Amino acid sequence: MLRKLLTWTGIALGSVLILLLMFYAVAYFQTEARINKIYEVQLQALEIPDDSANYALGKHVAEIRGCTGCHGADLSGGRAFADPTSPIGTLYASNITHGIGGINYTDQDWLRVLRHGINKDFRSVWFMPSHEVYHISNKEMAALISYLRIQAPVDKEIPAKSLKPLGRVLTFLGEYPLLPAEMIDHNATYADDVPFMVNADYGKYLATTCQGCHSPTFKGAAAHGPNEPDIPDISSTGNLGKWDSKGFVSTFRTGKTPDGRVLSEFMPVKEFPYSDQELEAIYAYLHQQK
Ligand code: HEC
Ligand code: HEC
């Protein structure tokens, strides 16, 4: 009797193990194919200026689109999104200067990564939010590249990236946005200029930068890591629905919400030097989100 029971338990456990191995094999080969996919895209012809007005605009775009937040004020990278202790894998922000350990990009390479999320190997970059910035106007894209390409070289080696089994399974299940090239319309056309206006349309243009963390619907998401707060709803159904535009602007200036809470470092208000009018536009858009 006992022997029979043990046999059946053994068969059951063995079957579960085989199913798990089969699942992982499928996840492994599917993600491996996606990671190694070679993208061929038609790059637009875009003239990159080199005057000081465009440099200043490019710097502002680099700041409000999060480039300096993730890659550092001197763009030398090194910030860990997954350090070697992470169960997801290893991933650091690249050194995007042309120093040792950095990159050596032509204007075409910049366009490929920023408009398409594709690196010099013609594969998708990992976790780098090109899908939140690829739509910016030709004027802003050209200014951004004019700023990026003349930054001083910084020597800093960045550890190689890798993906662990959990990172693979999450990518397989669509729970981890590893490959931005998959989230981009590679045949998109771009406006030459998106003139600045204090309205919800312009707010929408800017607020793509908030979606990676706050979710595409702005309704919030689970915390990013074990010691981080949940990501709150910033649509009209969240606290923001009760704030006026002044309160929203002052939250970004002071890091303190109108209801008196001090935001943690995980809402990097200081990394986003928006103008008051840009924040008012973002507010107008978020306030419309039901
Ligand atoms: C959320 C953080 C984050 C933001 C915001 C971000 N990046 Fe990145 N970026 C990364 C990570 C992580 C990598 C490493 C990707 C890889 O190795 O595949 C990367 C890689 C790069 C690369 C190197 C690609 C290569 O050849 O390996 C360039 C260039 C780059 N980013 C430019 C930018 C610019 C310009 C901006 C602003 C528009 C920006 N990034 C915004 C995280 C970010
Ligand atoms: C890197 C991830 C990240 C990005 C990018 C980000 N946020 Fe946040 N945000 C957070 C986190 C985490 C919190 C919660 C912070 C806390 O409670 O300490 C937060 C909180 C907030 C709050 C406070 C909401 C409340 O009810 O307390 C507002 C408002 C906000 N974010 C607006 C924005 C806007 C607007 C953008 C885009 C310009 C943005 N965030 C981009 C992570 C992010």
286 touches 207 (CB < 8 A): yes
- Reported as a single tens digit per residue, the pLDDT across 90-113 is 999 999 999 999 999 999 999 999
Q: Per-residue confidence at 209, pLDDT binned at 50, 70, 90?
A: very high
Q: What is the pLDDT of residue 5?
A: 84
Q: Given a cut of 80, is residue 1 above it in pLDDT?
A: no
The alpha carbon of 165 and the centre of ligand 2 are apart by a number of angstroms equal to 29
The alpha carbon of 130 and the centre of ligand 2 are apart by a number of angstroms equal to 19
Sign of the dihedral through C-alpha 171, 173, 175, 181: positive
Q: How far is CA 44 from the centre of its chain?
A: 23
In the chain, the largest separation of any two C-alpha atoms, in whole Å, equals 86
Of 110, 71, 65, nearest to 92 by C-alpha is 71
Q: Given a cut of 90, is residue 148 above it in pLDDT?
A: yes
Neighbours of 209 (CB within 10 A): 19
Average pLDDT over residues 191-207: 97
**Which ligand has an atom closest to residue 222 CA?**
2
Q: How far apart are CA 7 and CA 90, in angstroms?
A: 41
Q: Per-residue confidence at 226, pLDDT binned at 50, 70, 90?
A: confident
Q: How far apart are CA 195 and CA 213, in angstroms?
A: 26
Neighbours of 72 (CB within 10 A): 18
- Ligand 1 atom at minimum distance from 91 CA: 12
Residue 93 in contact with ligand 1 by CB distance below 6 A: yes
Pocket test for ligand 2, best of 267, 270, 287 (most atoms within 8 A of CB): 267
Pocket test for ligand 2, best of 131, 214, 245, 251 (most atoms within 8 A of CB): 214
CA atoms within a 13 Å half-sphere pointing along the CA-CB vector of 100: 3
The alpha carbon of 94 and the centre of ligand 1 are apart by a number of angstroms equal to 6
The alpha carbon of 2 and the centre of ligand 1 are apart by a number of angstroms equal to 59
Chain-wide mean pLDDT for the chain? 95
Q: How far apart are CA 75 and CA 153, in angstroms?
A: 9
Q: How far apart are CA 187 and CA 190, in angstroms?
A: 10
Q: Residue 12 to residues 2, 15, 18, 22: CA-CA distances in angstroms?
A: 15, 5, 10, 15
180 touches 128 (CB < 8 A): yes
**Residue 150, both tokens:** 């003349």
The alpha carbon of 69 and the centre of ligand 1 are apart by a number of angstroms equal to 11
**Atom 2 in ligand 1: which residue has the minimum CA distance?**
70
- Ligand 1 atom at minimum distance from 125 CA: 18
Pocket test for ligand 2, best of 65, 70, 234 (most atoms within 8 A of CB): 234
